[in-house]
Each structure stands twice: as C-alpha cells, then as structure tokens.
C-alpha cells in the first residue's frame, strides 16, 4: 500500500441526461479538481479516471460509470487495483440533509438515504471511509424527492453552488496533504 496515493471518487450517474443534476454534484467536484490539476479523464473499467501529482502525492480521480446504486463495485475495484487503503479514499457525494452548498467532511459514518454510499458500505462491509458531503437541500414538495434530486439547481442557487464547488476542491486537496483531522478542523 502506498501511503501517498489517494482515490478521490465523485458519485454520480454517467449518462448524459444526468449532467448538471443535484445528484451528480460529486462528478462536478471531481471534474473541477481535475481541471485545476490539468488532469484529463480517460475511460477505464467502471470509471472515468484522471491521475495527477500534487505536493508529492498521487491523486487518482474517479467518476464511476456504474449506476449510482452500484458505486461500491467501482470503489472496491479501484481500491484493489491501485492498492489504496480505505483511509486514503474520499467519497464525494450529494446530501439532501444538508442545506444547499454546506460541506461536511467526515472520517466515517452511515449512508443515510444515499444509495451510492449505502452500496459502498455494503461492498466494503464497513463504514470507515472518509466522505465529503455536499448539501443540496430539501426544497421539494412531499413525494417529489426523486424529481428534486435528479433535477438541476435553481438559477438563484448557481452562485452559491459554484462557490461551494471551489471550496470542495480545496477540501479534497487538503485531505490529501494535511490529513482528514486538520482539514475537518479548518473547513467544517
């Protein structure tokens, strides 16, 4: 295992119709990180993959091409292939239980109502992996959660979301260099 190698995995759905939706914010953050590091994506097994060096670390950025509710397959495959331990992966996902643009970094925890996180827990058989949750809010009428999550941000939310994506990129980089504890102390 290489202690200086990290997997940053943004959750989303790879089909074109999901681009820009709330549920795909993990993809957007990992894409923004790849752009900052000037790391192009290639199509690989189970994921779009980009690789970059940053302050002596190797960062492997992934956007799983499995469906969201099968994300664990991609996570396990790439952890094994790249020989990365659970504490050196960061799962980036949306969270309806946080207000829009609020970011929460945690070293472990349950999956709540998030099918992607729950599948990762099921496949890895533990909850001890770091995750960065991006708040998408709950601004939807009862019974319309799926439509809301698979919908796009409202125009009045765009500025807040863009700023939060930039902050999320900084959190990802800090996680790889300063570690999770210092990054949580600085950014949560």
Catalytic residue list: 23
Can you read off the two tokens belonging to residue 11?
A: 């959750």
Measured CA to CA, the distance from residue 61 to residue 7 in angstroms comes to: 6
- CA distance to 38, 42, 95, 107, per residue, from 131 (Å): 23, 24, 11, 6
Residue 133 to residue 110: CA distance in whole angstroms: 12
- CA nearest 41: which of 60, 58, 54? 60
């Amino acid at each position: 295992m290489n202690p200086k190698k990290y997997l940053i995995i943004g959750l989303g759905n790879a089909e074109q119709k999901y681009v820009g939706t709330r549920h795909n914010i993990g993809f957007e953050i990992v894409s923004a990180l790849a752009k900052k590091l000037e790391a192009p994506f290639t199509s690989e097994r189970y994921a779009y993959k980009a690789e970059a060096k940053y302050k002596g670390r190797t960062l492997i950025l992934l956007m799983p091409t499995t469906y969201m509710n099968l994300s664990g397959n991609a996570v396990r495959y790439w952890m094994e292939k790249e020989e990365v331990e659970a504490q050196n992966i960061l799962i980036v996902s949306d969270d309806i239980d946080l207000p829009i643009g609020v970011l929460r970094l945690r070293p472990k925890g349950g999956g709540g109502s998030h099918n992607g996180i729950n599948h990762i827990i099921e496949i890895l058989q533990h909850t001890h992996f770091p995750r960065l949750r991006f708040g998408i809010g709950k601004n939807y009428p009862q019974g319309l959660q799926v439509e809301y999550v698979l919908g796009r941000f409202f125009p009045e939310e765009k500025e807040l979301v863009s700023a939060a994506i930039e902050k999320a990129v900084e959190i990802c980089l800090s996680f790889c260099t300063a570690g999770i504890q210092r990054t949580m102390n600085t950014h949560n």
